[in-house]
Amino acid sequence: MLNKPQSKLIDRMDYYIANDQGQSEDYIKINSPEEIKICDPACGSGHMLVYAFDLLYAIYQEEGYEENEIPAKILTHNLYGIEIDERAGELAAFALTMKARAKYKRFFSKPVQPNICVLENIDFSEDDLAGYINMVGRDLFTEPLLECLRQFKEAKNFGSLIRPAVQDVNYVVDVIKKKNLDMHTVYSPINQKVLQALEQADYLSQKYHVVVANPPYMGGKGMNGSLSNFAKQNYPDSKSDLFAMFIDRTKDLTLSKAYAGMITMQSWMFLSSFEKLRKNITASQTVISMAHLGPRAFDSIGGEVVQATSFVLHRQAAPEFKGSFIRLIDGKSEAEKNKQLLEAIHNPNCSYFYHASAEDFKKIPGSPIAYWVSENIRKLFSNYKTIGEIAAPRKGNTTTNNDLFLRAWFEVDTRNIGFSAKDASLFNHKKWAPYNKGGGFRKWYGFNEFLVNWLNNGHVIKAIPHSVIANEKFFFKPGLTWSTVTSGIFSLRQFGDGYIFDNGGCCVFGDTKQLELLLVFMNSKVFREIFSKINPTLNYQSGDIAKVPVKPPSTALQPLNFVAITKQDWDSYETSWDFQSLPLISSKEQNKSLKETYTKLRTEWQSITDEMKKLEEENNKIFIEAYGLEDELTPSSA
Residue 584 has pLDDT above 90, yes or no: no
What order of strands is seen across the sheet that includes strand 479-482?
Answer: 392-394, 507-509, 479-482, 492-495
22 pLDDT more than 70: no
pLDDT bucket at 495, cuts 50 / 70 / 90: very high
Q: Report the range of poorest mean pLDDT among 31-40, 376-385, 584-593.
A: 584-593
pLDDT digits (tens, 9 = 90+) for 282-334: 999 999 999 999 988 887 766 555 789 999 999 999 999 999 999 999 998 99
Radius of gyration of the chain (CA): 31
CA distance 269 to 371: 10
pLDDT per residue as tens digits for the range 208-242: 999 999 999 999 999 999 999 999 999 999 999 99
pLDDT band at 20 (very low <50, low <70, confident <90, very high): low
Q: How many residues comprise the chain?
A: 638
Q: Helix, strand or coil for residue 65?
A: coil
Task: Please state, for a pLDDT cut of 90, what percent of the chain lies above it.
Answer: 77
Distance in angstroms (rounded) separating the CA atoms of residues 117 and 82: 5
Residue-wise pLDDT tens digits, 87-99:
999 999 999 999 9
Ordered DSSP codes for 153-198: TTHHHHGGG---S-S--HHHHHHHHHT--TT-TTTHHHHHHHHHHH
In contact, 265 and 306? CB cutoff 8 Å: yes
Q: Which residues lie across from 507 on neighbouring strands?
A: 394, 481
Question: What percent of the chain lies above the pLDDT cut of 70?
Answer: 97
Distance CA 572, CA 566 (A): 10
pLDDT band at 536 (very low <50, low <70, confident <90, very high): confident
